[in-house]
Chain A
Amino acid sequence: MKSLITRLIPLALAAAVVAIPAPAAASAHITIINTDGPNEGFNDPAPAAPVGGNPGTTKGQQRLIAFQFAADLWGASLDSNIDIQISASFDPLGPNVLGAAAARFSIRNFNDLAAPGFPGGKADTNYHGALADKRAGTDLAAALGLGVEFPEVIAQFSSDFDFYLGLDNNHGVRNDLVVVLLHEFGHGLGFSSFMSRTTGNTPGGVTDPFLDNTLDGSTNTQFPALLAGPAADRLAAIQKVDQIVWTGGNVAAAVPTTLLFGRPELDTPTLPSIDGTRYGTASFGPLIPATGITGSVVVASDGVGATTDACEPIVNDIAGKIALVDRGTCTFVVKVKNAQNAGAIAVLVADNVADNPPAGLGGADPTITISSVRVLRATGDAIKAAVAAAPLTLTIGLNQARRAGTDLADRPQLYASTPIAPGSTLNHWDPIAFRNLLMEPAINGDLTHSLIAPFDTTLAEMHDMGWFTDANLDGVEDATVLLGGCDTRVPNDFIGNGALLGDQARVWFAQCQATAAPGTKAFEACFDAIAKQAHHDDIITGKQSSHLRQCAQVRGKSGS
């Protein structure tokens, strides 16, 4: 990476990306600042065949186009009259590192710099730079003498990693760069607390919008209140698995359509100490069926060394049973395959450390045809003690009375873990969430490019933190939905799929804009069809549908 900043986004190249939808309304403009030197990273001249709607013909072009595509997806979703600058590079980081992005700065108590009419921020609250700029209506870094090119977000990604560079999410077994960037930009734009997961401290000892929405459900204490106490209390709180939840209303509205019922739990009524405990799922073998898997449990033995690790062929009778094996010594797929070969109907892998919650089981083996899950070490110990005394039947179940990813009060869970994983604890959703969410600690292969319900909660989370809808960029939250500069005169309410009407309307507008220019009959027909179908599906009301369609037409006729 070179220190000299070169803002080089070839206009011709950007114009060639016809697949990138322009925003449906005023939005946030995000600029990628290419900090790579000649012939590296974004400027890599290695020839590349266009792929998945990415028209670039060199590796560097394709990277830059994918970056701008992800930035534009965010930009079309957020409103700010201050350009958001992402300083970015591709560097040789080795084959195991993908990259990262983060806020370049935070700022608090900046309201004296806010433009007239803009709300500014709450007192004694650290804001991500981009969010602070939006709320101040001012480029705060520039106002404080750091220069107009001082970025709000920094990003560094690996030129060694084989990303899928298409724009269509058709990534197959590879990792979709656009999804990875959406995740990382999300952190840089606001999805992260400034609280250190190592020390428990925050800059200046004050809160941030992320913490403002975070609750310790075990004591019903909002995190800002914890800032008055010792840091140890905060570090203890973020280790309370299943107890740390998000309280913001926008995410709460998105939860019913986004997170599905079917929480992975063991159902063991005869062993109350572990009844209802969660398990981690495997990346191989079949999913747990909705009805669960019920059977008697047997501790598998391979008769060699640590006899319960299932690293050798199983020697005791586990046919037709759920096999309990211990983690350690060999890979998960080896253990499960050995149990499968011995006739087990499913496998419980008991952890060999006290980590909580139970992680998933990694690996891949297409020949595995039985389900397997990981349980806590304590759960394994309890099962072993129980089966030593009497036969035990349990169900590896999916609790259909509870969503995967919410607590008993149906609030979305953030990732709490013991021990603390500084790179993921608190600043992500709990990986138990299903559907899989963009801002979980892991990047799952089934993620879409959508930021809104019913596919995701990320934009809702941004709204909760203060990224209010402001399509006309006047600094005042929009009371009604503005579409392409036209006031639909319908309130920006939550609609049937859990999204805000304004957010959803922008997506529909952009979908049509990707296929036809506004002002054309084809565009209006596209928007008409979508809005009518949404009404038919009870996502929006007839009045909402009618007003949206009228506005789309007005915009087209005016050419604005």
Chain B
Amino acid sequence: MTTRRVRLGMLALGLAGALMLRSGDTPVNAQESNRGEDAAVKLAGRKVRIDKSTGKLRDLSPQEARELVATLTAMTTRTESVAATSGGRALTQFNGFDHVLVARPNENGTNDVRCVNSLEEAVAFLSQTPATSGKE
């Protein structure tokens, strides 16, 4: 259990870091208080959060990244239970999902949407960043 918590914590930090890199700005340690420095503006009919200092879409805060990790973990943790009876009949119940749709916002208000199954896939998509190579 401890190992799992540590892993999730590391993934959350990694996700926050990867998403910070996406903006193209110099990566800095994200602070949860960053939210107060953002401006919520209406872009193409929807509210998006803009970093005042850069004018770009703001990336996830560590707290938001932790929530994303928790959500994806909960949704994609898929369990199977099989009830087998005579004649080879078997009913397999599934809890959880084998994929989740996630969205990556663009600066024109659109979102790119993709099916993912794991935190690693989500990070790769949301950040468009291979783990070892920086931004796009």
Where the two chains meet, the residues of A that have a C-beta atom closer than 8 Å to any C-beta of B are 93-110, 112-113, 123-124, 126, 140-141, 144, 146, 154, 156, 161-162, 172-175, 180, 183-184, 187, 192, 194, 197, 203-204, 283, 327-332, 334-335, 352-353, 362-366, 421-424, 427-428, 441-443, 445
Q: Indicate if the CB atoms of B90 and A107 lie closer than 8 Å.
A: yes
A-B contact pairs, 29 of them (CB 8 A): A94-B71, A97-B102, A98-B101, A102-B97, A102-B99, A105-B92, A105-B93, A105-B94, A107-B89, A107-B90, A108-B88, A140-B91, A162-B46, A173-B44, A173-B46, A173-B109, A173-B110, A175-B103, A175-B113, A187-B99, A204-B82, A334-B24, A353-B133, A362-B128, A422-B99, A441-B114, A441-B115, A443-B101, A443-B114
Closest CB of chain A to B77's CB: distance in Å?
12
CB distance from A36 to the nearest CB of B (A): 16
Shortest Cβ-Cβ A-B pairs, 6 listed: A423-B117, A422-B117, A423-B99, A100-B97, A364-B108, A98-B101
In the complex, chain A residues whose CB is within 8 Å of the CB of B108: 173, 364, 366
B68 within 8 A of A: yes
A128 to B114, CA, bound (A): 23
Report how far A113 CA is from B89 CA in the complex, Å: 10
What is the CA–CA distance of A104 and B113 in the complex, to the nearest angstrom? 24
Q: Which label, helix, strand, loop or mixed, suits the secondary structure of the A interface?
A: loop
Q: A102 CA to B75 CA in the complex, in Å?
A: 11
Contact present for B87 and A109 (CB under 8 Å): yes
Q: How many residues of B contact A (CB 8 A)?
A: 57
Does B44 contact A330, Cβ atoms closer than 8 Å? no
Q: With a CB–CB cut-off of 8 A, which chain B residues contact A103?
A: 94
* Contact residues in A for B32 (Cβ distance below 8 Å): none
- Min CB distance B135 to A, Å, is 5
A283–B108 Cα distance when bound, in Å, is: 11
A421 to B126, CA, bound (A): 14
Chain B 55-83 per-residue mask, 1 if CB under 8 angstroms from chain A, else 0:
00000100010011001100110001011
Given A93-B71, A421-B117, A98 and B88 contact (CB-CB distance below 8 Å): no
- Contact partner of A353 among B46, B85, B115, B130, CB < 8 A? B130
Closest Cβ neighbor of A366 among chain B residues: B108
Q: Is the CB of A331 within 8 A of B60?
A: no
Indicate whether B3 reaches chain A with its CB closer than 8 angstroms.
Answer: no
Q: How far is the CA of A162 from the CA of B111 in the complex (A)?
A: 10
